[in-house]
Amino acid sequence: HYTFFPRNPKWPQSKYHLTYGFVAGTPTAAINAVVKAFRAWASRTHFTFSQAASGSRPDIIVGFFPRDHGDGSPFDEPGGTLLAHAFASTDGRFHYDEDERWSVGAVSGAFDLQTVAVHEIGHNLGLGHSSVPEAIMFPTIPSGATEGLHPDDIEGIRVLY
Ligand code: TQI
Ligand code: CA
Ligand code: ZN
Ligand code: ZN
C-alpha cells in the first residue's frame, strides 16, 4: 500500500503542470531517462510536465551531486546504501549520487537511471514508500529492465490529490 509524507505535502491545484530542468552538465543519457520517467507519470496521472524554458526557474530541478552537497542529506560512497533522493513537492529537488555507476537499461553492477527517476519523481509528487513489492515506490531497487508504474502508485496519487 502507498504512503505519503508526514502532513501530506503536495502540489497546489494551480501547479498540476510542472516544469523541470537540469543542472548544467547533466549527461544526455540522464536527461533522456528523466524525460521518459516524467512521461510515465503524465500518462497515468492528472499531472503534465514540460522542460522549463531557459532562464525560468523549474519546479523540479534534477542534477548529479557527490557526498555532502549542502542540502543536509549527504550521499555516500559508490555501492553504499544511498543512490538518489528527492524532496516532497514544492521543494522540487531531485538528486542522483554522482559516485554511483548509472546505466540505461539493466546492466549488472549499475543502477538504471529511468527506474530510479520514476521512483524519485514519485517522492517529488508527494508519495512515500509502498508495501506492495511490485510498486515503483517499494523501497527496493528492482533489478532487471526499467520498471514502470503499478496500480498502487497511481492509486496513491489519486488519493493524495
Ligand atoms: N534514497 C531514499 C529513497 O529515495 C531516500 C529515502 C529514504 C526516502 N526514506 C525515504 C525518501 C522516505 C522519501 C521517503 O527512497 S535511496 C531506492 C529504492 C533510494 C532507494 O538512495 O535509498 C530508489 C533511491 F530503495 F527504492 F530502491 C532510489 Cl529506487
Ligand atoms: Ca552511494
Ligand atoms: Zn541532495
Ligand atoms: Zn524512496
Tens of pLDDT, residues 16-34: 999 999 999 999 999 999 9
Cβ density class 122-144: b for 16+ within 10 Å, e for less: bbbbbbbbbebeebbbbeeeeee
pLDDT at 148 over 90: no
Mutation choice for ligand 1 from 85, 125, 136, CB with most ligand atoms inside 8 A: 85
pLDDT at 147 over 80: no
Q: Give the helix/strand (H/E) hosting 119.
A: helix 113-125
CATH of 13-160, one of 3.40.50.300, 3.40.390.10, 2.60.40.10, 3.40.50.261: 3.40.390.10
pLDDT at 89: 75
pLDDT at 61: 97
Hey, what's the cell of 147? Answer: 520498471
Residue 80, C-beta contacts closer than 8 angstroms, at least 6 positions apart: none
pLDDT at 55: 85
pLDDT at 23: 96
pLDDT at 21: 97
Q: Write the DSSP symbol of residue 126.
A: T
Whether 76 lines ligand 1, by a CB cut-off of 6 Å, is: no
Which protein residue's CA is at the shortest distance from atom 16 of ligand 1? Answer: 82
Q: Does residue 107 or residue 97 have the better pLDDT?
A: 97
92-97 β-sheet, strand order: 48-51, 17-22, 60-65, 92-97, 84-86
Angle at 65 between CA 71 and CA 115, to 5 degrees: 105
pLDDT at 143: 73
CA dihedral 73, 79, 81, 87 (to 10 degrees): 40
pLDDT at 110 over 80: yes
What's CA 22's distance to the chain center, in Å?
13
d(CA 83, CA 111): 8
Tell me, yes or no, if 120 is annotated catalytic: yes
Q: Evaluate whether 86 touches 63 at the Cβ level (below 8 Å).
A: no
User: With bands split at pLDDT 50, 70 and 90, how would you rate the model's confidence at 69?
Assistant: very high
d(CA 157, CA 149): 11
pLDDT at 126: 97
Catalytic entry in 100, 120, 147, 155:
120
pLDDT in tens, 70-96: 999 999 999 889 999 999 878 899 999
